[in-house]
Each structure stands twice: as structure tokens, then as C-alpha cells.
Structure 1
């Protein structure tokens, strides 16, 4: 392919051919981009180490279960708790978004007084979502 070296009036063209310059600049730009090291903005933080004694409260974000046993134990998700710890767990669960469900399951032979105390603790904690589980155990209880 021949390049036009004469203008319309027969004089030589005085414009510079910039195509090779653009090609060289693009190659240099690509080489520059490839050779730049990847910039990573890392923030170095010393995280606390878990020594095993700092266990988070066993509060499930979906549902939690309180069982009152016939031996006068109160179980929170299977772990024995006293009424003060129960109140703390209830307060933590009521601050979660969304609020988890609370299932109360007293055993048929459990003392009514203890079940009543657990209900009073849940009322003071202003539990919003609560249900009774295992009511079928009382159908034939005499």
C-alpha cells in the first residue's frame, strides 16, 4: 500500500505520520501497566488471642430453647443456667435483629414455681417472640 506523499496541489506533504508514534506509546503503556506491582493496602492489626475462657454467650440468632427439668434445672439451649444468666441471655437475644424465637419447654414433672419464675424473667426481659413447646406431653398427664 503506497502512502500519499503529495498534496492536492502537487506539493510535498509536511504532516508527520503519527500512527507509528501512537503504536509505540500504546506498547509502552501496556508494558508499564504490566510491570507495576499490585498495590495492596493492608492494615496490620494485632488481634486478641482466644484463650478458651472467653466463650461467647450461647445465643442462637434464629431460635433459643429454655427447658425446665423435673430436677429444678433451667437449661438454655442445653446448657444449665441460673435465672440471672437467663436474663442476660434474654437481653442479648432481644437486641438482635431480627429477634430470635424463644421456645419454652417445661417437663411435665417440673415444679410449677420454677416455671413461673422463668416466665416472670421472660416477661421482665420483654420477650417479643415466645412459644411453648411439647404441650402434647400434658395430654395424658394425670
Structure 2
């Protein structure tokens, strides 16, 4: 099966690529792009008003909850009970944007006391709860 003029009766396949269809397709694409680019860049010129708007950087406060070795709960630097903790967490959960709660647990405290504070935060609807640890010295 030979491509070409059909003048020779050889059964060899031509190794040349017919460039005519490729050139035709490229010319059609070029014409399409030439016609559509001015349509895409056409805009209406208007005089927009100028505004000086500084972004509002609202940084929520962070609250440090600490559970000491004797299972006492500290709200920042104030010692509180479990009931007061639940009430404060519910009031903080209603504030938008919510402050981040940073939970610190003494390594000598029983794990259940830290879990109790975490559960109280979850029940109150706190969305941001982080753990504060110290890196291991190298």
C-alpha cells in the first residue's frame, strides 16, 4: 500500500509525511485565534472611584489553659474549677472569631485530667485547640 501518485508499482511504503493536512489545520487555528483575540480583550473603559481601604487585622486573643501536676486548672494565670471552665468555654465559643485555646499539661498529671479539659472544650464548641509542649533538648 503506497501513498503517492500511484505511478510506480513498488510495494514499498513511503516514509515521507504528507504535510498538507497539518498546514491546513494550523492555518485554520491561526485564523480562529486572530478573530477571537480582539473579542476577548475588548472591555468598556470606565473611570472607577478610588478608595483607601486598610485591611482589618482582627487577631483573636489566645487563652492559655494549664493543667498542673495536682490536677488544678488554670485559665491564663487564674485557678478555676471545672464548672467555671465549662461556663467560660461556652462564652468564648460564642465569640467570633473564636480565640485559640492553648492547652498545657504537666507531664506528671494523669492523662484523664487533660482529656477532661479537652472534652469540656469540645462540648462547648471550641474550634481551635492547640497543645503546647517543649522540644526535646538535643
Question: TM-score, normalising length from structure 1?
Answer: 0.51
Matching of residue 95 in structure 1 with residue 73 in structure 2:
no
TM-score normalised by structure 2 residue count: 0.52
Counterpart Cα distance in 2 of 1:131 and 1:113: 17
In structure 2, distance between residues paired with 1:88 and 1:113: 20
Map of 2:69 onto structure 1: 70
C-alpha deviation, 1:114, in angstroms:
0.9
Q: Secondary structure at the match of 1:120?
A: helix
Structure 2 gap segments, 5+ residues each: 1-59
Residue aligning to 2:82: 83
Tell me the distance in 2 between the aligned counterparts of 1:134 and 1:92. Answer: 26
In structure 1, distance between residues paired with 2:84 and 2:128 = 19
Give the equivalent residue in structure 1 for 2:109. Answer: 110
Aligned to 1:129: 128
Aligned length in residues:
78
* C-alpha deviation, 1:135, in angstroms: 4.8
- Partner residue, 1:119: 118
| Mapped partners of 1:99, 1:123: distance in 2 | 13
**RMSD of aligned C-alpha atoms?**
1.5
> Which consecutive unaligned segments of at least 5 residues does structure 1 have?
1-60
Measured after TM superposition, the shift of residue 94 of structure 1 is: 1.0
Deviating above 2 A after TM superposition, structure 1's stretches of 4 or more consecutive aligned residues are none
Query: In structure 2, how many angstroms separate the alpha carbons of the residues matched to 1:80 and 1:116?
Result: 18
SS class of match (1:92): helix
1:9-28 equivalent positions in 2, closer than 5 A: none
